[in-house]
Structure 1
Amino acid sequence: MADRVNVIGDAAIEVIAAEGMRGLTHRAVDREAGLPVGSTSYYARTRAALLELAIARIIELDSVDAEPPPGGLAESMAGYVHEAITTGRTRMLARYEFALEATRRPELRRVYDEGGLSIRRRAAEVLAARGSPEPERHATVVVNWMEGTIFDALAGTGSLAPPGPAALRSSAREVLAGIGVA
């Protein structure tokens, strides 16, 4: 069952990224997933349930390890941002659609905010382990840099020439140096 729910969540992400929230229907998700008509509505009876399933899948895919891989924190940050603007592009576009939709739907706001707070908590844990004297505040700085860089590269003027891995590593190092964490 979990596999089928993930397939439906992934298909919903694709539909949202390609067609926006108005294009998200049970039938569109069935079609994108290559499932028989009615399959999506078996797992998500209402549109609200389908939206919650899709945002839960985005949050699951956005999850990052609390401990950066070998190579350092700047490399980890740059790697996450690079993945988000390349192979994760669709997921991120869908996430931005959800961010806007959550401003109008309190039930999505709660789920969306829980996911964002989880990412900030993990960032604060990593920064605390690296010696940050203000890990929560510094996590906000780091996450805002990542979010802003991703948004600019996908939907802003930065989409004309998105940054590559070297530029992202350099910027990440500058952000970390600015908060006194290297």
Structure 2
Amino acid sequence: MDTPRLARIGDAAIELIAREGLRGLTHRGVDREAGLPSGSTSYYARTRLALLELTIERMVELDDGYLARPVEGPHEAAEAIAAFLHHAVTDGRTRTLARYELALEATRRPELRAAYDRGGRRLREHAAAVLTKLGVAEPDAHVRTLVGWCEGIVFDALAGAGGEPSMQELAAGARSLLWTVLREP
């Protein structure tokens, strides 16, 4: 985000979406949630689409900061993946719930789809970089598997019947997945 105020607006929008769904997201509601003077949000994001795009950009920025951990080998990669997933279902739960709301909205609104897909590409770029660093022969061929596994684990923990996984469970699953990908000829 260009300014602390934009970050504050994005954070407030994430909170509102997670708590109230997209119906609860209004410019005035974001102003109240962020503790900003009335009209602040509409100054930075004139339309609802602009506010949704700003929110997605903030989520990507927050994820980028969390995903930037360098990894040296499969063990470190599994631990980093586990930490990211554990964060997504615990301290980052609000952001994850808001992301699911935005994902569904993007399936109905093509103008939002582009912003949502840009964010998804960033996650896939991080996954490809990890797989490349580990020496996977065709990292792009395995990105969907890695991202899909991560998405499934998080969705099951938040919206399914799986409950909150432990760090150990997540790391073991990530190691198993990475080991399978690394062993492939």
Q: Give the drift of 1:54.
A: 0.6
SS of corresponding position for 2:5: helix
TM-score w.r.t. length of structure 1:
0.93
Q: Residue 29 of structure 1 aligns to which amino acid in structure 2?
A: V
Q: 2:161 aligns with which of 157, 165, 168?
A: 157
Q: Give the drift of 1:122.
A: 2.1
Show CA shifts across 1:79-127 (max 9, x none): 0000111000000000000000000111211111111112112211221
Q: Is the 8 A contact 1:66 1:126 kept in 2?
A: no
Q: What is aligned with 1:16?
A: 17
1:113 aligns with 2:117: yes
SS of corresponding position for 1:103: helix
Q: 1:142 aligns with which of 143, 146, 150?
A: 146
Aligned length: 179
The 1-side partners of 2:157 and 2:164 are apart by: 5
The 1-side partners of 2:19 and 2:101 are apart by: 10
1:65 aligns with 2:71: no
Show CA shifts across 1:127-157 (max 9, x none): 1121111101212111111111111111111
The 2-side partners of 1:69 and 1:29 are apart by: 41
Q: Is the 8 A contact 1:69 1:76 kept in 2?
A: no
Q: Which runs of 5+ in 2 are unaligned?
A: none
Q: Give the drift of 1:66.
A: 6.7
Instruction: Kindly report the root-mean-square deviation, in angstroms, between the aligned alpha carbons of the 2 structures.
Output: 1.6
The 1-side partners of 2:152 and 2:22 are apart by: 22
TM-score w.r.t. length of structure 2:
0.91
Q: Is the 8 A contact 2:72 2:133 kept in 1?
A: no
